[in-house]
Each structure stands twice: as structure tokens, then as C-alpha cells.
Structure 1
Amino acid sequence: MEIGAAATNAYLKAAQAAVKPQDTQDAGAISGAPFGQMLDAALSKTTEAAATAENAVASATMGNADLVDVVTSIAAAEATLETVVAVRDQVISAYQEVMRMPI
């Protein structure tokens, strides 16, 4: 029963982290940037989230981390990756639409 409650709490924290609005300072830093810099920033955040998840899994393997933290880190990394993939799909779709336009 205790493991089920811990997993439920972990999923709740992950859902809250995925829905949480971004910091205004972070959004302001990106808003006026060229597209390449925005893409680079998004990929950097994805890489950081994946590294955090990997570190949490490694710590849990050694017995130094809580299962809730591990699940939360993995869920955050997954949400970040899904966001990047969705943006990539939209960019490809927009490119294809532009290529279909008559000159």
C-alpha cells in the first residue's frame, strides 16, 4: 500500500510539473531570440532533464534516492521530450506547407 501511495504522489508531482507555467524571466530571455537560439535552448533543457532523470535513476540504484523523486524526474524528462517532438513535428509541417505554396 505504501508503494502505491508513493507512486501516486510521484505521478501527481510530475503532472503538476508538466502543467506548471514557465518562469517569466525564462520566457522573457527567449522571446526576442532568433529561432536557432530558441531551438538550442529547448534542446539544452531536454538534455538537462534527461541527465537529471539518469542521475536520479543512478542514485536510486545505489539506494540514495527516493522512488518518488526518480519517477518525477523521469516524467519531467518524458514531458520535455514530448514537447520537443511536438514542436519538431509542427516545424516540419510548416516547412512542407511552405514548399507546397505556388510561387
Structure 2
Amino acid sequence: MTPAALAAGAYRATQGLTNRTEPRQVAEVGGTDFGAMLKAAVGDVSRQGAAMDGKALAYAGGKADVIDVVTAVAETQATFETVVALRDKVISAYEEIMKMPI
């Protein structure tokens, strides 16, 4: 999955969560749960990091072009930044919930 597709999917999923007019259970909608989405995003970052390392090693061995390495680094960075932004939103939402009076 490309970083752009991953980012678009993550933003679409989070926007779907924030634009609800009434509370719904995930099972009713038939979508994936947040934990599975987050696990998949972290897995994608890990896979892209491994691919980036492979490209860097191939470049060091003279078997890859510098453009391939730079592209792999940029893709990994974009995916990682998306996951970090999602994490920041989750933490912010948690903090807001904790501020609510009981």
C-alpha cells in the first residue's frame, strides 16, 4: 500500500468517526475497529522501514539508484508522520474526555 493510499484511508476512517451524527457501534456499520486500523498502520510503517533499509543497503552495494533510496525514505517518512498525527489526535481526544466532569 502506498503512503498516499494509507494516509487517505486513515484520514477517511478518522473523518468517518468524527462526522457521525448519532453514536453507532462498529459492528453495526461493518467497518474495522480502531485497534485493527492502528495495528495495520504501524505494520505498514514497519514494512516500509524494512523496504527503505533494503534500498539503502542495495545503494551501498551499488545495485540501486539514489532516487529509489530517496523515494523510499520520503514514503516512510510520510507514513510515519501520518501515524504520529493520528496518535496525537487520539491523545488529544483522551485528554478532552478526561477533563469532562462526571
SS in 1 for 2:52: helix
Question: Shift of residue 35 of structure 1?
Answer: 1.0
Alignment of 1:66-81 (within 5 A): 66-81=65-80
Using structure 2 for the length normalisation, give the TM-score: 0.72
* Equivalent residue number for residue 91 of structure 2: 92
Identity of aligned residues (%): 44
SS of 2:101's equivalent in the other structure is coil
Counterpart of 2:89, as a letter, is Q
1:1-103, aligned counterparts within 5 Å?
20=4, 22=5, 27=9, 32-103=31-102
Counterpart-to-counterpart distance in 2, 1:68 and 1:74: 10
Determine the C-alpha separation between the residues in 1 that align with 2:46 and 2:86: 16
Where do 4+ consecutive residues of structure 1 move more than 4 Å? none
Separation (CA, whole Å) in 1 of partners of 2:97 and 2:68: 44
TM-score, normalised to structure 1's length? 0.71
> What are the ranges of 5 or more consecutive residues in structure 2 without an aligned counterpart?
14-30
Q: Name the counterpart of 1:11.
A: none
Residue 70 of structure 1 and its aligned partner are, at CA, apart by 0.4
Richer in helix (by share): 1
